[in-house]
Amino acid sequence: MKIVLASLVFLFLMYSAFIYQQPVKEETMPEVVRGKMIWQEKNCTACHQLYGLGGFLGPDLTNVYSQEGKGAPYIKAFVQGGTATMPAFNLSEDELNCLVAFLKHTDESGSADPRKFKIRHDGTIAGN
Amino acid sequence: MEQLPETNLPATKKIILTALALLLLGMFFGILGSLQYVVPGILKTQLSFEKIRPLHVSSVVFWIMLAASGGVLTYAGERSGKLFSRLLAKIQWLLFLFSVVAILTSYMLGIFGGREYWEFPPLLAIPVWLGWLLFTINLVGTIRTFKQQPVYVWMWLTGAFGFLFIFSESYLWMLPFFQKSIVRDMTVQWKSYGSMVGCWNMLVYGSGIYLMEKISKDPTPARSRMAFALYFLSLTNLMFNWSHHIYTLPILPAIKHIGYLISMSELYILGRIIYKWKSSVKEARKFEYQLPYRFLIAADVWVFLNLILAILMSIPAVNLYTHGTHITVAHVMGTTIGINSMLLMAVVTDVLDNTCRSLYIYQKKITQGLVTANLSLFVFLGALLMAGIKRSQWQMSDHRVPFGEMMHNLIPYFILFSMAGIVLFGAFCVMVYPLVKNVWACYTVRQPQSTVTPSFN
Ligand code: HEM
């Protein structure tokens, strides 16, 4: 009993360390980190998702940066103007640029569009 | 340590009463949130969705944390005859009370800075963590020995210690190493969230098992080999199955496969539930007359239904369709309301019974509330599932209509969701009212003899 428990805890700690150390492909600029903090401080997550995670009142924004007809000016327009549901956010030009840099970063990290994945016979999926 | 005067309500019961207040408050915020789905733009200037969602989610999360810790402390004390420290419990209560008030106020004022589920400024995580530390110390002190303990004691300890570690882990994002990469950050975030829910489940299920033992007066099941085998299976899932939250994230495929494989072990639990169905029904007839037992039965049904959904959602191919839709919301609220809240209501009703007087006179009312709650929960989750399926079809379609148009088409489901939510709230009010009234009676009802002081047990 104690041995099983100790082994599980040990495995868990090893696995945690392994997860923390996972290499990542993106290089990050300071404005991206700043943009991420603005994303958190304004709680955009309450209505939007990144990689499908977040609140569901608004759309997923992981790849909004590269979607056809969207991009930086489009994002800024939404944040400044708001919509029927989304409040307008009073941000400086500098803050807006950081927010856009963050959404560019999420876009470059991978795709959250479920249509881009391939389903394999064993139930796993391929993509990203 | 100084003994508190008799007339003082024990801190564990104060923790539980605070939890009940948060439950009702949280549900009320949930209703306000659902209205924003029905009437886009409503309350936009006063309590826009970025405020309402955390108000709702944090309130109900604290309902679970407080009720679970209050219940566990009460039960641990009941077993060993005495709580290790009433003072620690009181400080825990005050720390939680302070945290909750500060957190909800910061949301109302639009002050955020954290991440999903813990949107408050990170500084406020400190009193929460400290409160939990006191709970853990108090629990260990009350249990005293680790030898020959039944499975629920191990579950309580796992939940208490696990949360301390995992809650800290969920704040790793504050270190630049994690903050720099959205992929690493989200991986660790959902690793911790997945396990955190597992920790609460350990506390809640553990209390459910203890309560079952108390009702049936049969100590063998919680000491059997099978009970421990299932405990280890759940612990393995708690530690390693979390990657089903992030199947679409660009991480090493092996991490996803581990989550997928481990999640499938839950099929065994599902099989066991089906296999034991008949004997459970027989058992149910025996104890039906007891109020807490009725909540346990309700939770059992939801365990079964939610487990099927959870297992399906853990298959990456299915998850691709359900992820990012209201099917996830249905899964989350299905488990937190159907299982956690029902089990906690069982615990809370048991703990608060005989505070001043027996709940016996309210039995019929509470049962009516329970039946209404379960029926409305069924509709509530059904409406969310339907909305989720429609959104999934939209996500997968090659010719997506604009997002706003899709959401507009879902309004009928959201109306049903909202209405069912209102009935659910009403039903919970009906169940909670007698509990609170009973405690209140300690202060107000005149005893036949003026010398008798109210007794709290
Ligand atoms: C005990 C009762 C309840 C509990 C424990 C609970 C729990 C939760 C949790 C944990 C979430 C986050 C879901 C996620 O991240 O996917 C959530 C979201 C939500 N809940 Fe509840 N809930 C309860 C009752 C209600 C009620 C009565 C309503 C009213 C209709 C409601 C409306 C909502 C809404 C609108 C959301 C946000 C959905 C979104 O992400 O956009 N909840 N709830």
Tokens 């019929």, residue located: B364
Cα of B324 to nearest chain A Cα, Å:
4
B26 C-alpha vs ligand 1 centroid, how far in Å? Answer: 9
Cα of A110 to nearest chain B Cα, Å:
6
Question: Given a cut of 70, is residue B5 above it in pLDDT?
Answer: no
Question: Given a cut of 80, is residue B419 above it in pLDDT?
Answer: yes
Q: How high is the pLDDT of residue B447?
A: 53
Work out which ligand 1 atom sits closest to the CA atom of B34: 35
Q: How high is the pLDDT of residue B97?
A: 98
Q: How high is the pLDDT of residue B237?
A: 97
- Backbone φ/ψ region at A43: left (φ over 0), alpha (ψ -120 to 50), beta: left
The ranges assigned to domains in chain A are: 28-109
Question: Given a cut of 90, is residue B214 above it in pLDDT?
Answer: yes
Contact status, residue A92 vs residue A80, Cβ threshold 8 Å: no
- Name which of A41, A56, A58 is nearest B329 (Cβ-Cβ): A56
Q: How far apart are CA B160 and CA B348, in angstroms?
A: 19
Task: Assess whether the C-beta atom of B27 lies below 6 angstroms from ligand 1.
Answer: yes
* pTM for this prediction: 0.95
Work out which ligand 1 atom sits closest to the CA atom of B37: 35
Question: Given a cut of 80, is residue B128 above it in pLDDT?
Answer: yes
Name the maximum alpha-carbon separation found in chain A: 60
Question: Given a cut of 80, is residue B445 above it in pLDDT?
Answer: no
Report the share of chain B in percent with pLDDT over 90. 86
CA-nearest residue to A41 within chain B is: B113
Task: Assess whether the C-beta atom of B330 lies below 6 angstroms from ligand 1.
Answer: no
A127: nearest Cα among B316, B188, B182, B244: B316
Alpha-carbon Rg for chain B in angstroms: 22
Question: Given a cut of 50, is residue B149 above it in pLDDT?
Answer: yes
Question: Given a cut of 50, is residue B453 above it in pLDDT?
Answer: no
Instruction: Name which of A51, A121, A122 to mutate to probe chain B: the one with the most chain B Cβ atoms within 10 A of its Cβ.
Output: A51
Contact status, residue B124 vs residue B102, Cβ threshold 8 Å: yes
Q: How far apart are CA B157 and CA B152, in angstroms?
A: 9
Going along chain B from its start, the domains and CATH numbers come out as 282-457 (1.20.210.10)
Instruction: Name which of A85, A116, A118, A119 to mutate to probe chain B: the one with the most chain B Cβ atoms within 10 A of its Cβ.
Output: A85
Contact status, residue B113 vs residue B99, Cβ threshold 8 Å: no
Q: β-pairing, A53-54 with A118-119? A: unpaired
Which residues, other chains included, contact B179 with Cβ-Cβ below 8 Å and sequence gap of 6+? A33, A36, B173, B185
Average confidence (pLDDT) over B338-353: 96
Number of Cβ within a 10 Å radius of residue B38? 17
Give per-residue pLDDT as tens, B305-342. 999 999 999 999 999 999 999 999 999 999 999 999 99
pLDDT, averaged across chain B: 93
Specify the CATH class of A28-109 in words. Answer: mainly alpha
Q: Is residue B259 less than 8 Å (CB to CB) from chain A?
A: no
Average confidence (pLDDT) over B406-423: 98
Q: How far apart are CA B122 and CA B173, in angstroms?
A: 11
Cα of B328 to nearest chain A Cα, Å:
9
Q: How high is the pLDDT of residue B452?
A: 43
3-state secondary structure B259-281: HHHHHHCHHHHHHHHHHCHHHHH
For residue B7, name the pLDDT band (cuts at 50, 70, 90). Answer: low
* Number of Cα atoms under 13 Å in the Cβ half of residue A26: 26
CA-nearest residue to A119 within chain B is: B317
Question: Given a cut of 60, is residue B455 above it in pLDDT?
Answer: no
Q: Do B113 and A40 touch (CB under 8 A)?
A: yes
- Name which of B41, B182, B245 is nearest A105 (Cβ-Cβ): B182
Q: Do A112 and B248 touch (CB under 8 A)?
A: yes
Which residues, other chains included, contact B46 with Cβ-Cβ below 8 Å and sequence gap of 6+? none
Number of Cβ within a 10 Å radius of residue A107? 19
Q: How high is the pLDDT of residue A28?
A: 80
Average confidence (pLDDT) over B348-377: 93
Q: How high is the pLDDT of residue B289?
A: 78
Q: How high is the pLDDT of residue B356?
A: 80
Give per-residue pLDDT as tens, A71-107. 999 999 999 999 999 999 999 999 999 999 999 999 9
Which chain A residues are closer than 8 Å to B260 by Cβ? 123-124
Number of Cβ within a 10 Å radius of residue B36? 22
Q: How high is the pLDDT of residue B456?
A: 47
- Name which of B181, B228, B246 is nearest A24 (Cβ-Cβ): B181
Question: Given a cut of 50, is residue A57 above it in pLDDT?
Answer: yes
For residue B457, name the pLDDT band (cuts at 50, 70, 90). Answer: very low
* Number of Cα atoms under 13 Å in the Cβ half of residue B25: 18
Question: Given a cut of 70, is residue B446 above it in pLDDT?
Answer: no
A71-75, B232-236, B282-286, B399-403: least confidently modelled range: B282-286
* CA distances for A75 relative to A85, A103, B221, angstroms: 16, 9, 58
Q: Which residue has the higher pLDDT, B368 or B6?
A: B368
Which chain A residues are closer than 8 Å to B318 by Cβ? 123
Q: How far apart are CA B185 and CA B170, in angstroms?
A: 9
Q: Do A20 and B248 touch (CB under 8 A)?
A: no
